[in-house]
Structures are given as C-alpha cells and as structure tokens.
Structure 1
Amino acid sequence: MPTLKVPWFPGSSCHITARGNHRNDIFRDGEDFQYYLILIEEALDHFKYDEYNIICYCLMDNHVHILIETKDKPPGKFIGRVNAMYAKYFNKKYNYIGHLFQDRYHPQFIETDAQMLEASRYIHLNPVKANMVEKPEEYQWSSYSMYIGERKEKIICSDKILCYFKDAGKRALYKNFVESGIKVKIDA
C-alpha cells in the first residue's frame, strides 16, 4: 500500500515530531544528540537553495521536535534526509537492526501567529514537562538557551519568534512567555 503524501503548501511552517520505534530511545549519549544536530546543520547546507529555516528544536531521549519554515519544498525531504542518515549512524554504532523511527515524521502545520508562539513554547517546555529539568534553559539539547541569549545561535532563526515581542527586552519577554506555561507546583 503506498504511503500517503503529507499535505503541504509553499511558505508554510510546520511543527515536526519524530518518535523512536516502540517509543524506544533514539539518543543514548551526548555524541548521539550532537550528531543529530550536525545532520540538521548539514541538511540546511545541502538544501540551502530550498530555503528551510529551523525556528526552534528540542531533542528528547526518544523523540525530536523541530519547528521548521519552508519556502519552495515540503519539509519531508529535509527531515527524511536527517532521519535516514541518523538511523544509519545509530544502527551502525549500536549494532541495531530494524526501524529506528516509529513512522515517518508527524507534521502539524502552523496556521496562525498564536499557533507559532504556542508551538515554540511547547517545544521549549518539553524537558520541563517530562521532569528532566526544572528550568527549560537547563536542558542542553534545545534551542531555548539560544532564544534567551545564554548561548550563541546556531542552526536556528530565532527572529521568526522574537519578532512578536518588543525589540527592547524581547529575549526576556520571550522567557517570561515560555515560563508562564510552567504550572506552579504547590506543596500539599
């Protein structure tokens, strides 16, 4: 049975998730996370004329979140290249046989500015909601610390999100916006 094409239109933005097969870990050590980021950077160069922009990302142990903006080509070629090359690396490194990823990527297309902001907050809060860290900037494999100015930007285009905030203090305003999504734990 043929795989159905994912609907897409030029200039769209998309929140992509890709999960490990059977929810298994797809990253086992820091080198794995780093290699996936290198593959994203390499794919941005490979597809430079197709003008993909990574708006934000978060790599979790068993899945990835990437918010990507497209221009002339659908995101499938981009994420397909990254995931296929990563699966070859992983399978060789860990002598793994079979599918690394549960399915092809899952896209959620962004239709409004509010959706764009919520997707970025959701992505950046993923490690907090998974109880891996208390603050989103503590998580090493996310673009959040680049957004708030704690790390130099690499592979992302934060201005796609930060343009929604006032120029003076936009990073602090974004930090307040994201962290307002953390539910306060009350001691009983």
Structure 2
Amino acid sequence: MARLSRIVVPNQPVHIMHRGNNRQDIFESEEDMSRMTEDIAHVLSKSDCHLHAYVIMRNHLHLLITPAEKEQLSRFMQAVANRYVRFFNATRNRTGPIWEGRFKSCLVDSENYLFTLYRYIEMNPVKANMVKNIADYPWSSY
C-alpha cells in the first residue's frame, strides 16, 4: 500500500514530531542536543522555512515550522535528520538508522491550535519531569 501524501499548505504552520527508533534515546548528551540545534539552524539558513518553536527531548523532537512552499518541509526534515544521523553514527562508531520511520506532521489550522502547540512543545520537559521550570531547560525555544 502506498504512503499517503502529507498535507502541507504553503505558509501554513505544521507541527512535526520525529522519534528515535523503538523510542530509544537519540540525544544522549549535551553535545548531541547542541549538535541538533546547530543542524536545525544550518538547514534553516538554507531553506525557505520559518521555525516558531522547538524542543529536543531524549528520544524525540518537536518542531513548529512554516514552509514557504510545499516541498520545503520534506527537504528541511530530510536534511536535518540525515545530518544528525551522520553525526550520531560517526561519534558512536555505528551504522544504520536511528529514526522511527517518517516524521509525523500535523497541519495547524487555527490560531487557537497554534498557541496550544507552542505551550505543548515548550512544556514537554516539565511534563516529562525533566525540570520543574521550563526556563531551566536549555534545549527548547522557550
């Protein structure tokens, strides 16, 4: 059965979630988290996407992003994911995939949903009991 096409509307925000394979930790250190933020920034500088919010957790990440063109979202995510996989595998002397299939995406269709997502994304570390105050978590857009 063929995969369903993603619903991407130019200039419309999209919530992205990308999880580690088998829910394994793929951000194991501060260096890993830092590398992911660098990869996101690098790819953003070369793409026609705008990042609104993000959080990097141990085994997944959330992005709230707006692509200017339909094709930009997949190109952006492919570049970010591939850059990080190469880094992750090279620093651990391993090969193979680390991501659990395709990234999940959900079109943001209202202003209310947009603000709900901002809160959900940035509060993830608090809800996961990683920090008591979101200001104490350095790997988010907060």
Secondary structure of 1:17 counterpart: strand
Find the partner of 1:120 among 110, 114, 118. 118
Secondary structure of 1:35 counterpart: helix
Secondary structure of 2:70 counterpart: coil
Q: Aligned equivalents of 1:12 and 1:68: distance in 2?
A: 8
Q: Aligned equivalents of 1:79 and 1:85: distance in 2?
A: 10
Larger Rg: 1
Task: Give 1:18 deviation, angstroms.
Answer: 0.2
Identical-pair percentage: 35
Find the partner of 1:54 among 47, 51, 54. 51
Higher RCO (Cα < 8 Å, 6 or more apart)? 2
Amino acid corresponding to residue 19 of structure 2 in structure 1 = R
Total equivalences in the alignment: 141
Task: Give 1:28 deviation, angstroms.
Answer: 1.1
For the Cα contact (< 8 Å) 2:7–2:107, is it kept in 1?
no
Superposition RMSD on alpha carbons, in Å?
1.3
Q: Aligned equivalents of 2:2 and 2:37: distance in 1?
A: 30
Which one has a larger percent strand, Structure 1 or Structure 2?
A: 2
Q: String of CA shifts for 1:141-183, please: whole Å, max 9, x gaps.
A: 0111xxxxxxxxxxxxxxxxxxxxxxxxxxxxxxxxxxxxxxx
TM-score (norm 2): 0.94
TM-score (norm 1): 0.72
Find the partner of 1:79 among 63, 77, 87. 77
1:158-169 correspondence to structure 2 within 5 Å: none
Task: Specify every segment of 5 or more residues in structure 2 that has no aligned partner in the other structure, as ranges.
Answer: none
Task: Give 1:98 deviation, angstroms.
Answer: 2.4
Amino acid corresponding to residue 81 of structure 2 in structure 1 = N
Task: Give 1:2 deviation, angstroms.
Answer: 4.8
Task: Specify every segment of 5 or more residues in structure 1 that has no aligned partner in the other structure, as ranges.
Answer: 145-188
